[in-house]
Amino acid sequence: MRIDILTLFPEMFEGFLNTSIIKRAIEKNLVEINIVNFRDYTDDPHGKVDDTPYGGGRGMVLRVQPIYDAVMDLKRDDTKVILLTPDGITYNQKEAYELKNNKHLIIICGHYEGFDDRIRNIVDLEISIGDYVLTGGEIPAMAITDSVTRLIPGVIMEESHINDSFNIETNLLDYPTYTKPREFKGMEVPEVLVNGNHKEIDDYRRKMQIEKTKERRPDLLDN
């Protein structure tokens, strides 16, 4: 899978691309992630990518031309173009699974006070990562790239997905996990996890998943 991220702030992605699981996935060629500065596509002699809004008002608006040209340059027949915006559909694990099935994603990071609305005409999908407003689409782009990349076969152990919170088959939250020591400041690890009976451990974990989901996210059980 290839993911092209269009941004004005490539430096924000340095730590993200060079750390831990994402770094390893890139090294193993399981995913190719390109950070594209769409300023490189502007036709403005001074390199401008934004301008004042028609009709007046505060702030600067991202111009349509640099983003249009960048998308047209990078797009292939099988590309899905995504715009990150607080008024898009709310992202979730089901959407992550759907995005994983694409060969090529272009992710456009909005910034400043907004973007020329005509950009919406060249995108397939508009996504928000939640009902709050960030200063730009860079953090949402990392959240989406991370959640999709970890679902690509070979990136993490396949079994890890089975108990993921929001797993699309179980729709349950993950069960609680513990490691050594067995007792810490009076807090003990549940007995069932140390007795070596795998059937009992599986039953306990399943029960904890259901209880936790009932308590914290009853809406998931309704679905």
Between residue 117 and residue 156, which ones bind ligand ADE under the rule CB under 6 A? 128-130, 132-134, 137, 140
d(CA 218, CA 165): 13
d(CA 161, CA 93): 11
Residue tagged active-site, from 95, 146, 164, 174 = 164
218 tagged catalytic: no
Distances in Å between the Cα of 218 and the Cα atoms of 18, 124, 169 are 37, 32, 16
* Min CB(211)–ligand ADE separation in Å: 31
d(CA 204, CA 189): 13
Closer by beta carbon to ligand ADE, 35 or else 172: 35
* Min CB(143)–ligand ADE separation in Å: 9
Residue tagged active-site, from 32, 51, 98, 113 = 113
CA 208, 212, 215, 221 dihedral sign is negative
Please give the DSSP secondary-structure letter assigned to residue 127: E
Q: According to the binding rule CB under 6 A, does residue 54 interact with ligand ADE?
A: no
d(CA 128, CA 92): 10
**Selected binder of ligand ADE within 86, 114, 116, 163 (CB under 6 A):** 86
200 tagged catalytic: no
Q: According to the binding rule CB under 6 A, does residue 85 interact with ligand ADE?
A: yes
Which positions lie near ligand ADE, rule CB under 6 A? 84-86, 110, 128-130, 132-134, 137, 140
* Catalytic positions, written as ranges: 86, 113, 150, 164
